[in-house]
Amino acid sequence: MSVLKVFICTCRGGITLPKDLDFGEDVKVRVIEDIFFDKAQEEIESFVGKEKIVIAGPSPRIMEGFFSDPNIAFVNIWEQASMVGHGPEKIRDLIHGAVEGLRNTAPVEKKVFEIKNKDALVIGGGVAGLEAARHIANAGFKVYLIEKKPFLGGVVAGLDRLYPEGTPNSHVLYPLINEVVRNKGVDILTNTEVEEVDGSLGDYRVKIKTHGRIPKGLMLKKCEEVCPVTVNDHGIKRKAIYYMPTYPYSHGIDFDSCTRCGECVKVCEDISLEEEEKEIEVGAIVVATGLKEYDASKIIEYGYGRYPNVLTQWEFERRFSNGLIKPKSVSIIHCAGSRDKNHLPYCSRVCCILGLKEAKLVKDTSPDTEVYINYIDMRSYGPFEEFYNTIREIYGVKFIQGRPSEILQDGEELVVRAEDILLGKQMDNRVEYVVLMTGFVPDDELFHKLGLPADGCFPTEYVNSQHSVDANPRGIFIAGAAAFPKGVAESMIDAGDAAQGVIDVLDRYAVEKKTPTARINSSICGEIDCRICLTACPYGAVYLKDEEVTVNEELCMGCGICTATCAAGANQLDGCTNNGMLAQIAATTKEGDVVAFLCKWSSYSAADKAGYELLRYPENVKIIRIPCTGRVDAQMILKAFSSGAKGVLIAGCPPDGCHYFTGNLKARKRVIALKKLIEQFGINPEALAIEWIGKDESKKFVEIVNRLNGGGR
Amino acid sequence: MNLQEEILSNIDGRTLNYCFSCGMCTGGCPSARVTDSIYNPRKILHRAALEGRLEEDIWLCTNCYTCQERCPTKTKVADLISLMRRIYVKEKGIPGFIKPLIENLGACGFTARIGDLENKRRERMGLPSVKQNQEVRRIIEKTGGGL
C-alpha cells in the first residue's frame, strides 16, 4: 500500500481547485466531476482495500455512507471551504494535510471475525432467557439454555403475580416454558453454571458444570420426606429437594443447600448427585442473569433482619400469596436503598409500580387490611398513571409522602417514623407489617468471567454502546433485567432484541470490525508500565491481561481517549495515530492560521452547517476532524502552535453529551492544564480554547473562530 | 445579606442544593418530635433555598447529627443549620434566649452551669471536679460573644 490515490470532486465545477495539485511522486491525483455518479464511485471502490485513498469532496458525514474503510481519509472541501467562500489555497492545504497524514500512517488491516460456531448460549432461564432462547431456536440455531437454579422461570416463577397489574404469572410463564421445551433446538440444562469462558466473537469455548440430575417427569414426594435439609426460601420452609410447577416437570435439588448426604438416592436410584463438567462451543452468548434484591439489612435504621415483620417485597409477596401471613395493616416503603447515596445512588425504576402492585395484591385478597404507602416521588410514567389512580381512588390505599427515617418495634406493632411532608409533621405510623421495596442490583457473579465491565452496578455503558450502530460487532448480548431493572414485558421485548443481535451474528460467515481500535505496542508499554490508560477508557475495553495492558477489540469504540493519555506513544488509535495526526497538522497549518480540532459527532457538523447557511468566517481557519475531543493530546496542540498557528480551538459535544461519556470532560481538564504550560512558552493562553459546540450551533462556531482569529498570540 | 449566596460560598453549604425534600431528616429528628414539628429541618433547608429567609427555629437543633447521618442525598443538614446559626449571629447578634447559655459557658465552659452540687455528684462517680474556667470567658469576650 505504498501508492496514495487522491480523488478530488469538483462538485460539477462548483469548487475551484488549486492549479498546483502535485503532492509528491507517489501520489496520483484524479479529478472527478461528481462523486455521486455511480461510475465515479465504482472507480474509487476498485482501489479500496488495495491503496491508501484520500477523497476530497463533500463532508465525510455524507461520504461515509458510500465508503467505509480504515485506509480512506476524507477532506471536506465543500461545506468547510468552497461553500463558505474560501479559496483554492486553503483547499490545497487541506488535501496536503490529509495526504501527509495518511502517508505517515501504517496501513490498517481490516479485521474480520470468523463465525466458526453456529450455536448460541443463553445464560439464565428467567423470562428474558426463555424468550431469547425461543427466538434464536426459531431462527434455526441450536441453543444451550442454562440455569443455575433447579427450575426455570427466574424471579417470575417465585412470585404469584406479574408486574404491573397483577396478572397471575402462569399467563406468561407456562406457555413460554412449553414453547421452549417443545422446540427441539433448545438444550435446557438446569442446575448448571458457567465455569469458564474463553475465546471471542464467533468462537467461544465455555466450560459448564451441572451439579446433578433428576430424570424428567418424576414426582419424588418420598425423597422430599427423607431429605434432612430444611431451607428457608424467602420465608417459606421447604426441603433441599422440592417441587415447583415450572420445568423440569419433576422435583429438583437446590444444590446451594444440599449436603449430598444421599438419602434421596436411597429412595430413588435414578437421581444423580454427580457433578458433570463439559465444554460447549458457541458463536454468541446472551446474558440474561437478571437482578436480585439489594441486601436490606444494610439499611440499619429500617431494622430488616432485627424485626421479624419487616420484610422485603419478594418475601412479603411469597408469604402473603401462600397464606402464611394475614396482616391487619401494612406499610409499604418505597426507595429502600434506592435513590440513596449511602446505598444505591440510582432509581431502581420498577419499584414504584411494584409497590402499587403489592398494595393491589393485599387489597384484592383482604379488603379490610389497612395499606399505607410511604414514597418520595411516585414515578408512574406513561400508562402507569392510570394504575396509580386506580389504587388511590378505588382501593383506598393511603399515600404518605415522606421517606421514613426509622422503623422501631413497639410490642407487637412496628412504628414507622416519618415526616408527612404534605402536613409538615413528624408522624408515627403503627402497623403490623412493613414491606421494604428494596432497590435492585444485578446478579453479576458472571460479569467478570465474561469480560463485561462491572463494579456492582448495572453495565449501563456496555448496554448503551451495544445499541450504538458504530459499535464493533459483539458476541455477548445482555438481555432483560441484567442490563437495568425492567418489568416482565420490557424484559421480554429486550430479549427479542438481544436474540436479533445473536441471529444477525450467527447468520453470517464472518463479521467485519467497524470502528478503528486502539493498539498497544507492548514493548514500549512494558518498559514504562504507567497503566494510566486503564482508567481512561470509558468502556473498560483497556484491561490487564497477564499483567500486560491489552485492548478488548469488541468493547473498544475508537474514541482515542486512551491514546491521548499515553505519553510514551505506546497506545495508538488506528487511523488516528500520533505520527499521522502530527504530520497532518504540520502540513495543514500555515503561519497565522487558526487550527480547529472538531469532534466528528457534533462540532464538525456545526461547521458543516455553517457551510449550508453560507455563513462567513476567515479563510485561515483550518478544520481537523477527530473522533472525540478526548483524543486531542498536548503534542497535537503544541504541534499546531509550532507550525505557526496563532490560535487553536478544540470543540466537542456539550457537557454530559459526549458520545464516549466523558471524553469532552477529560479534554477540558487537559486543555486547562496546558494553558498554564503554554504561557511559559510565551504563547498567550487565550489563543487556546476549548468549547462545547453542539451540532446546530454553527453561529457559535463562527463567533469563536472569529474571536480566536482576532486574538493572536 | 443574601442568605443563599452566603450559604453557597461555604463548602458544606453547597450541599444545600443536593436536597430533594424527602423528609428523612425531619422524620428522625428528636427536636421535631418534642416540638410537634415546629422545628423541621427539611422546611428550614427548603426555606433557605427558595426564600432565603432565616428564622429563629434554627436554634432548636440539638446537633445530634441523625439527619446528616441518614440523609440519602448526603446533604450536610446539621452542618447547614450550624452555618445558618453563624450567619444569624453575624447579622442579628446572639438572640436573647441563647444568652443564658453563653453566660454559663463563660462561667464554667459548659452550656449547663456546673456548681457545687454537680461537682459533689461527680466526686461520687469518680470524676474530676470542674473548676471555674476563665479562658472560655476571655475567648467569648474577644470574639464579641454579646455579653
Averaged confidence pLDDT in chain A? 92
The answer for residues whose C-beta is within 8 angstroms of residue B70's C-beta and 6 or more apart is A301, A405, A406, B24, B25, B28
Residue A23's identity, in one-letter code, is: F
What was the pLDDT predicted at B146? 57
pLDDT at A553 over 90: no
Residue A157's identity, in one-letter code, is: A
Residues of chain B found within 8 Å of residue A303, distances taken between Cβ atoms: none
Task: Choose the CATH number for A1-108 among 3.30.200, 3.40.50, 2.60.120, 2.115.10.
Answer: 3.40.50
Q: How far apart are CA A630 and CA A599, in angstroms?
A: 9
Domain shared by B7 and B77, yes or no: yes
Domain shared by B71 and B104, yes or no: no
Pairs of CB atoms within 8 A across A/B: 70
pLDDT at A618 over 80: yes
Q: Is residue B147 part of a domain?
A: no
Residues of chain B found within 8 Å of residue A399, distances taken between Cβ atoms: none
* Mutation target vs B (from A405, A408, A416; most B CBs, 10 A cutoff): A405
What was the pLDDT predicted at A711? 59
Q: Say if domain A120-291+458-506 classifies as CATH 2.60.40.290.
A: no
Give me the mean pLDDT over the B69-74 stretch: 96
pLDDT at B1 over 70: no
State which H helix or E strand residue A679 sits in: helix A663-680
**CB within 8 Å: B27 and A418:** yes
Tell me if B80 sits within 8 A of B13, measured CB to CB.
yes
Give me the mean pLDDT over the A564-576 stretch: 91
Tell me if A369 sits within 8 A of A330, measured CB to CB.
yes
Query: Please, which residues bridge with residue A284 across strands?
Result: A120
Query: Please, which residues bridge with residue A430 across strands?
Result: A415
Tell me if B95 sits within 8 A of B59, measured CB to CB.
yes
Positive or negative torsion for Cα A60, A63, A64, A65:
positive
Per residue in A387-441, pLDDT (tens digit) is: 999 999 999 999 999 999 999 999 999 999 999 999 999 999 999 999 999 999 9
What was the pLDDT predicted at A234? 83
The ipTM (two decimal places) reads: 0.84
Q: Is residue B104 part of a domain?
A: yes
pLDDT at A667 over 80: yes
User: In the CATH hierarchy, which top-level class contains the domain A292-441?
Assistant: alpha beta
Give me the mean pLDDT over the A285-289 stretch: 96
The answer for residues whose C-beta is within 8 angstroms of residue A369's C-beta and 6 or more apart is A327, A328, A329, A330, A362, A363
A41 min Cα distance to partner chain B (Å) = 57
Domain tally, chain B = 2
Domain shared by B123 and B136, yes or no: yes
pLDDT at A272 over 50: yes
Supply B124's cell numbers. 461520687
Domain shared by B9 and B55, yes or no: yes
Residue of B nearest to A418 (CA): B27
Q: Cα–Cα–Cα angle for A403, A409, A414, nearest 5°?
A: 60
Please state, in angstroms and as integers, the Cα–Cα distance from residue B119 to each residue in A343, A593, B125, B131, B136, following that order: 46, 83, 10, 9, 19
**CB within 8 Å: A402 and B22:** yes
pLDDT at A514 over 70: yes
Residues of chain A found within 8 Å of residue B73, distances taken between Cβ atoms: 341
Fold of A515-572: Alpha-Beta Plaits (3.30.70)
Grid cell 415450572 — which residue?
A: A246
Fold of A589-713: Rossmann fold (3.40.50)
Give me the mean pLDDT over the A55-71 stretch: 91
Q: How far apart are CA A297 and CA A303, in angstroms?
A: 7
pLDDT at A262 over 70: yes
Q: What DSSP character marks residue A17? A: P
What was the pLDDT predicted at A2? 65
What was the pLDDT predicted at A133? 97
The answer for residues whose C-beta is within 8 angstroms of residue A389's C-beta and 6 or more apart is none
Residue of B nearest to A302 (CA): B70
Give me the mean pLDDT over the A185-208 stretch: 94
Residue A566's identity, in one-letter code, is: C
CATH number of the domain that residue B80 is part of: 1.10.1060.10
**CB within 8 Å: A426 and B29:** yes
**CB within 8 Å: A418 and B23:** yes
Domain shared by B86 and B128, yes or no: no
What was the pLDDT predicted at B147? 53
CATH 3.40.50-classified regions of chain A: 1-108, 589-713
**CB within 8 Å: B37 and A301:** no
Could you count the other beta carbons within 10 Å of the beta carbon of residue A158? 19
What was the pLDDT predicted at A1? 59
Per residue in A301-360, pLDDT (tens digit) is: 999 999 999 999 999 999 999 999 999 999 999 999 999 999 999 999 999 999 999 999
What was the pLDDT predicted at A96? 95
**CB within 8 Å: A405 and B70:** yes
pLDDT at A713 over 50: no
Per residue in A76-132, pLDDT (tens digit) is: 999 999 999 999 999 999 999 999 999 999 888 888 889 999 999 999 999 999 999
Supply A295's cell numbers. 441486601
Residue of B nearest to A425 (CA): B37
Q: How far apart are CA B41 and CA B61, in angstroms?
A: 8
Residues of chain B found within 8 Å of residue A424, distances taken between Cβ atoms: 37, 40, 43
Residue of A nearest to B66 (CA): A405
Give me the mean pLDDT over the A225-236 stretch: 90
Give me the mean pLDDT over the B126-143 stretch: 82
**CB within 8 Å: B36 and A419:** no
In A354-413, the residues whose Cβ lies within 8 Å of chain B are: 376, 401-406
